Amino acid sequence: MNMDKPLRRVAIFGMLLFFGLMAQVNYVQGSQAKALQTDSANTRRFSEVFNSPRGQITAGGQVIVSSSPTGKDNPKYGRDYKDGLVFSPVTGYFNGGASKVELAYNSLLGGTDPRITRQRWFDAFIGKKAEGANVELALNPSAQRTAYRLVKGNTTRRAGAAVIDVKTGAVVVLASSASFDPNEVAPQRESKGGKRLAELDAAKGAIKPLIDNAMSQTFPPGSTFKTVTAAIAMDTQGLNSSSTVPTGQLILPESNRPLPNSHDTGNCAGSAPLRGAFAESCNTTFGKLAMDMGIEALNKGSSKFGFNKRFQIEPDLSPAESDVPISVRDAEGKQIRTGADGTARSGIGQENVRATPLQMAMVAAAVANGGEIMQPYLVQKVTSKEGNELYGASPKVYSKAMKGDTADQLADMMRAVISEGTAKNLAGRNIAGKTGTAEQGAGNPNARWFIGFGPSEKPRYAFAVVTEGPGSGGEAAGPIAASIMAQVLSK
């Protein structure tokens, strides 16, 4: 009997079974992997999370987060954070749960993302775990270290700094004080790490280390917000930097009380060009501009800069919302509309106006970039262990905040702040900007701001710095911003 034909049939059938099994494994490991991993019935999703090394997080060619063996069965791998206090506002932490970039790119760092598993289907078939990808941040590590050192050394309260590339949106500095060290809550710390995380999460008072003060905390922006008020007025009311504006006493119509200037001399003595009122930060000018346009126009115009909404800076990662509210809720939950007095105070960055340093850096970026704000981002690219690029940042326009001519005039007005205004102490530092000193209520320190761009001509980066304490923004925040920018521009 000829056995070739039956053998061929058996061989073909076996091959079909083999390829069918491979197809099923590929489908499960690829198409269904994420659903299976996150299924509530999958008890292994927690027990195995530490059994493989996560990818590295790097910045400027430096490894700032890595995994290493613990020598234990569980967790087999820990997480090591270099200069954790410096970089945690961006990296976040990982201990089974995660925050910031560790959360936003969790599946890629952990090797469970379909972009990895679909490429490594044969490894999955033979039981070899896919290795996590490496994440490269847009941060300038030297400038980030400088920023952390300076904001931490300036105050015992809260402080934050942000610097963004005005042409791409890349966030090159995002520093915060107080901060936390992710090593204290990493997997190798086991139950001690969980306990420490709970302590940090339960922090009382204003200082909450888990909430970074660069993009996750808002402050009243004070006079730095006059940049927004001026831009709206120039775009909608036909003003330019040479327009004569009132700078003398302004009596608020509802309370019949004056809105004070910091001084009533020079450009703030009665009337002046808008450029001079901006340089010397005359409250009365910008309070009146805000009242003339109304709270709705101030709200609408500020939205072009990024206020009054949230956006994703990375997947599942959004900065805190900065706001110029039309109304707020009182203690009984009733909506109270912002009146004329409140609108005037909103125009100078007080009342209920709130902003993150990242938001105010975006305001400065609009001035420096012809009115356009690029979408901010933290991650430059993600690569597999084999070096294949799995993700790359693609610069895109976030919004057109103002007309190009308005931006050019405001840029000159910011230079005047340094040459003849409230930040003459920063002359020669190759930056331009706007000072701000915001009151935060009885018993609370001032929010001291400086925002701007550098170089002062042909700007490439925009920045914002806020620190809490006595004194003014020009004295406290300005020198910090100048030193950070010196490091950024030294590349």
Q: What is the 3-state secondary structure (H, E, C) of 32-71?
A: CHHHHHHCCCCCHHHHCCCCCCCCCEEECCEEEEEEEECC
Mean pLDDT, range 188-195, rounded to an integer: 92
pLDDT digits (tens, 9 = 90+) for 62-112: 999 999 998 888 888 999 999 999 999 999 999 989 999 999 999 999 999
**pLDDT score for 398:** 98
CB-based burial label for 90 (10 Å; 0-12, 13-18, 19+): buried
Peptide bond before 170: cis, by omega within 30 degrees of 0? no
Within 8 A by CB and 6+ apart from 253, the residues are: 291, 340, 341
Crossing angle of helices 226-236/283-293, nearest 10°?
50
| Out of 125-139, 259-273, 375-389, 403-417, least confident range | 125-139
**Looking up tokens 């209920």, which residue turns up?**
352
C-alpha 55/C-alpha 53 separation (Å) is: 7
Confidence grade of residue 220 (pLDDT, cut at 50, 70, 90):
very high
pLDDT digits (tens, 9 = 90+) for 245-289: 999 999 999 999 999 999 999 999 999 999 999 999 999 999 999
**pLDDT score for 129:** 64
- The larger pLDDT score, comparing residue 33 to residue 10, is at 10
Report the relative pairing of strands 327-329 and 77-81 from DSSP bridges: unpaired
Confidence grade of residue 13 (pLDDT, cut at 50, 70, 90):
low
Over pLDDT 70: what percentage of the chain? Answer: 88
Average pLDDT, the chain: 91
**pLDDT score for 83:** 97
C-alpha 393/C-alpha 408 separation (Å) is: 28
477: how many CB neighbours lie within 10 A of its CB?
A: 34
User: Is a pLDDT exceeding 80 seen at residue 32?
Assistant: no
Beta bridge partners of 164: 171, 462
User: Is a pLDDT exceeding 60 seen at residue 122?
Assistant: no
Q: Which of 371, 364, 358, 367 has its CA nearest to residue 311?
A: 358
pLDDT digits (tens, 9 = 90+) for 167-180: 999 999 999 999 99
pLDDT digits (tens, 9 = 90+) for 393-420: 999 999 999 999 999 999 999 999 999 9
User: Is a pLDDT exceeding 80 seen at residue 43?
Assistant: no
Report the relative pairing of strands 134-137 and 57-59 from DSSP bridges: parallel
In 169-237, which residue ranges form alpha helices assigned H by DSSP? 190-201, 226-236
Query: How far apart, in Å, do the first and last CA atoms of the chain sit?
Result: 82
Mean pLDDT, range 342-361, rounded to an integer: 98
Report the relative pairing of strands 250-251 and 244-246 from DSSP bridges: unpaired
User: Is a pLDDT exceeding 60 seen at residue 375?
Assistant: yes
**Looking up tokens 């003459």, which residue turns up?**
424
User: Is a pLDDT exceeding 90 seen at residue 24?
Assistant: no
Confidence grade of residue 6 (pLDDT, cut at 50, 70, 90):
low
Structural domains of the chain, ranges and CATH numbers in brackets: 165-180+221-379+395-488 (3.40.710.10)
C-alpha 242/C-alpha 321 separation (Å) is: 34
Q: Which of 377, 233, 396, 224 has its CA nearest to residue 301?
A: 233
C-alpha 174/C-alpha 148 separation (Å) is: 9
Q: What is the separation of C-alpha 215 from the centre of its chain, rounded to a whole number of angstroms?
A: 4
CA atoms within 13 A on the CB side of 412: 12
- The larger pLDDT score, comparing residue 14 to residue 312, is at 312
Confidence grade of residue 50 (pLDDT, cut at 50, 70, 90):
confident
Beta bridge partners of 465: 161, 450
Mean pLDDT, range 112-141, rounded to an integer: 77
Confidence grade of residue 204 (pLDDT, cut at 50, 70, 90):
confident
Q: What is the separation of C-alpha 51 from the centre of its chain, rounded to a whole number of angstroms?
A: 32
**pLDDT score for 36:** 45
User: Is a pLDDT exceeding 90 seen at residue 330?
Assistant: no
**Looking up tokens 């126009």, which residue turns up?**
297
Mean pLDDT, range 320-336, rounded to an integer: 90
